[in-house]
């Protein structure tokens, strides 16, 4: 079972759109996928039209008592563990023991799922907390959407420092350019400058109205009855992640 975290310390870079669409794409290839919505805002859950069951909350999650709260999406092979408002303090709830042990909490919780799913995708909240450390530690691959601006690159640098701090290898990170608008000079020059850096994938996701409108249609772009350019971008992205990190 591979764990892929879609993470960035910055908000509004396309994390949820990425995790929602990558999860859909992965399931379409025949994998059994679980998308975990770790962000208390619950955007991924919203896109998939899934609400948490009444009895679900943060402490149940941390006790490992969450299997019955996993819900099937409308798409074969794809389940979702919905977010809950109580997740807003997940980091505090985790932070009550030895530092090294605290980082392992998530990995320990997810381990028993290895016979049920081929791939777990974590949609992460945009912050830098012990929860982020957990996510980075647990993940086999950290996918980082980067809008091609100076500030986004700074955030990436910060992430790499965090990786070092939690003793994870740099090559865990696979960044990609997100919400790209090639007509913008800054976007195209940054992409040109960094596109040969190994940390950046060759695939990128353009800014598309189609992706923005996911909030209206509430479904992944690939499931649209019409031909979707956006879904092709996510398919490329997924392919590259598979080739570079998942060895399939």
Which one of residues 11, 64, 72, 97 is an interface residue with another protein (CB under 8 A)? 72
The one among 41, 57, 69, 126 contacting another protein by CB under 8 A: 69
Binding mask 199-238 for another protein (x = CB under 8 A): -------------------x--------------------
String marking each residue 100-129 x if it binds another protein according to CB under 8 A: -------------x--x-------------
- Residues 161, 163, 169, 175, Cα dihedral to 10°: -80
Of 2, 43, 11, the residue nearest 145 (C-alpha):
11
Q: How far is the CB of 58 from another protein (least distance, A)?
A: 18
Closest to 209 (Cα-Cα) out of 236, 234, 228, 191:
228
**Would you mind telling me the total number of residues written for the chain in this entry?**
248
Cβ proximity to another protein: between 76 and 85 the closer is 76
Interaction pattern, residues 43-62, with another protein; x per rule: CB under 8 A: -----xxxx-x---------
Mention every residue, 6+ apart, whose C-beta is less than 8 A from residue 126: 8, 9, 10, 11, 13, 15, 39
DSSP-H helix ranges across 111-184: 130-138, 150-165
Binding residues vs another protein (CB under 8 A)? 48-51, 53, 67-72, 74, 79, 113, 116, 218
């Amino acid at each position: 079972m591979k764990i892929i975290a879609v993470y960035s310390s910055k908000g509004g870079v396309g994390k949820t759109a990425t995790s929602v669409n990558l999860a859909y794409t992965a399931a379409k290839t025949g994998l059994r996928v679980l998308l975990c919505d770790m962000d208390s805002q619950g955007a991924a859950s919203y896109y998939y039209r899934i609400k948490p069951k009444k009895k679900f909350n943060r402490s149940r999650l941390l006790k490992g008592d969450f299997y019955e709260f996993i819900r099937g999406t409308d798409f074969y092979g794809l389940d979702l563990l919905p977010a809950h408002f109580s997740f807003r303090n997940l980091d505090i709830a985790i932070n009550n023991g030895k530092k090294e042990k605290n980082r392992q909490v998530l990995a320990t919780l997810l381990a028993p799922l290895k016979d049920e799913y081929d791939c777990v995708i974590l949609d992460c909240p945009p912050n830098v907390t012990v929860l982020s450390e957990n996510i980075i530690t647990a993940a086999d691959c950290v996918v980082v959407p980067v809008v091609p601006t100076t500030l986004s690159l700074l955030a990436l640098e910060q992430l790499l420092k965090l990786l070092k701090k939690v003793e994870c290898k740099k090559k865990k990170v696979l960044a990609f350019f997100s919400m790209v608008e090639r007509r913008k000079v800054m976007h195209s020059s940054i992409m040109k400058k960094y596109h040969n850096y190994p940390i950046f994938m060759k695939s990128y996701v353009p800014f598309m109205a189609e992706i923005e409108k996911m909030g209206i249609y509430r479904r992944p772009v690939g499931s649209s009855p019409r031909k979707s350019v956006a879904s092709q971008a996510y398919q490329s992205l997924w392919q590259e992640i598979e080739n570079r990190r998942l060895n399939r």
